[in-house]
Amino acid sequence: MEGFAGKVAVVTGAGSGIGQALAMELGRSGASLAISDVDLEGLATTEERLKAIGAPVRSDRLDVTEREAFQIYADTINGHYGKVNQIYNNAGIAYTGDVDITAFKDIERVMDVDFWGVVNGTKAFLPHLIASGDGHVVNVSSLFGLLSVPGQAAYNSAKFAVRGFTEALRQEMMHNREPVEVTTVHPGGIKTAIARNGLTAEGVSAEAQSKVFDKRLASTTPERAAEIILDAVRKKKARVLVGQDAVVIDLLVRITGSHYQRLFAPVIGRIKPPSR
């Protein structure tokens, strides 16, 4: 894959899954990388792999919920490489639990990582992306940023919010004639550790959730997901659906409108273990 030679790309949550695969594919395509995660072991693996293919890489511990640290990090990366072209706001967590049994603090935690983490990264890097003259913001939402399902209200909220934020940002950049492209990413089920690392409401079996996800819902490899995402970035697309499941379900939701809720609730109920 070509098209990223000379570009400086920042990837959050790069120690696992989609973030790791994105970093590797960007490295193979000629980009210089700034990778970060809270999982230092996973991050070290990504760093080693990037070095093994000769990609320039800088690796830092960064918690995307820490706004001030993110700001300092953005300035540091810009100073380190002299510019920043792309940020992939990818870090995220999963959560399962019906609204009535979910604690406020759990919803806040999901919003902190999955929504505010994206906002923090976008705002910290935006001035540098504009200054580069050739910037790109890539924000990872989800198929669950296009439709809601039972047990996912917290995650749905964060991912719908990422979509709203990112779609508005894209129009602002166009309207203000800023040299920054903006892409929203909606992955379907990707074979990563997301469900295994996921949080659940009290009494909801995390193991049962992740088993079903790994066996029945995750269909696309993270490597293929990275290829699809980077292809969309090269084509400057507004949004990218990752995986056949995402393509088909998005279409169904658009055809059925709000009726999808009546159609999906019983189906989801049969596929997924209880979320309460």
Ligand X SMILES: NC(=O)c1ccc[n+]([C@@H]2O[C@H](COP(=O)([O-])OP(=O)(O)OC[C@H]3O[C@@H](n4cnc5c(N)ncnc54)[C@H](O)[C@@H]3O)[C@@H](O)[C@H]2O)c1
Task: Find the part of the chain contacting ligand X (CB under 6 A) among 57-65, 127-135, 256-264, 266-274.
Answer: 57-65
Measured between alpha carbons, how far is 148 from 133 in angstroms, rounded to an integer?
Answer: 37
User: Rule CB under 6 A: is residue 189 a binding residue for ligand X?
Assistant: yes
User: Rule CB under 6 A: is residue 135 a binding residue for ligand X?
Assistant: no
Q: Rank residues 12 and 132 by Cβ distance to ligand X and give the closer one.
A: 12
* Helix and strand totals (H; E) in the chain: 10, 9
Task: Find the part of the chain contacting ligand X (CB under 6 A) among 31-39, 74-82, 99-107, 266-274.
Answer: 31-39
Measured between alpha carbons, how far is 194 from 94 in angstroms, rounded to an integer?
Answer: 6
Residue 242 CB, nearest distance to ligand X (Å)? 8
Rg from Cα positions in the chain: 18
Q: Which of 16, 86, 156, 166 binds ligand X (CB under 6 A)?
A: 16
Closest CA to 96 of 15, 14, 13, 217: 217
User: Rule CB under 6 A: is residue 151 a binding residue for ligand X?
Assistant: no
Report which residue type is found at 274: P
User: Rule CB under 6 A: is residue 192 a binding residue for ligand X?
Assistant: yes
**Burial of 202 per CB tally in 10 Å (0-12, 13-18, 19+):** exposed
Q: Rank residues 11 and 204 by Cβ distance to ligand X and give the closer one.
A: 11
Q: Which of 13, 97, 150, 151 binds ligand X (CB under 6 A)?
A: 13
User: Rule CB under 6 A: is residue 33 a binding residue for ligand X?
Assistant: no
User: Rule CB under 6 A: is residue 38 a binding residue for ligand X?
Assistant: yes
For residue 223, CA distances in Å to 7, 76, 138, 220, 271 come to 20, 29, 17, 8, 26
Residue 12 CB, nearest distance to ligand X (Å)? 6
List the catalytic residue out of 81, 88, 95, 155: 155
The residue behind tokens 């049962």 is 208
Q: How many CA atoms lie within 13 A of 17 on its CB side?
A: 23
Is 81 noted as a catalytic residue in this protein?
Answer: no
Closest CA to 8 of 82, 75, 62, 59: 82
Measured between alpha carbons, how far is 246 from 187 in angstroms, rounded to an integer?
Answer: 6
Task: Find the part of the chain contacting ligand X (CB under 6 A) among 68-76, 84-92, 202-210, 260-268.
Answer: 84-92
User: Rule CB under 6 A: is residue 25 a binding residue for ligand X?
Assistant: no
Site for ligand X in 207-226 (CB under 6 A): 218
Both structure tokens of 210: 């992740």
User: Rule CB under 6 A: is residue 121 a binding residue for ligand X?
Assistant: no
Q: Which residues bind ligand X (CB under 6 A)?
A: 12-13, 15-19, 37-39, 42, 62-65, 90-93, 113-114, 117, 140, 142-143, 187, 189-190, 192-194, 197, 218
Q: Provide the annotated active-site residues.
A: 155
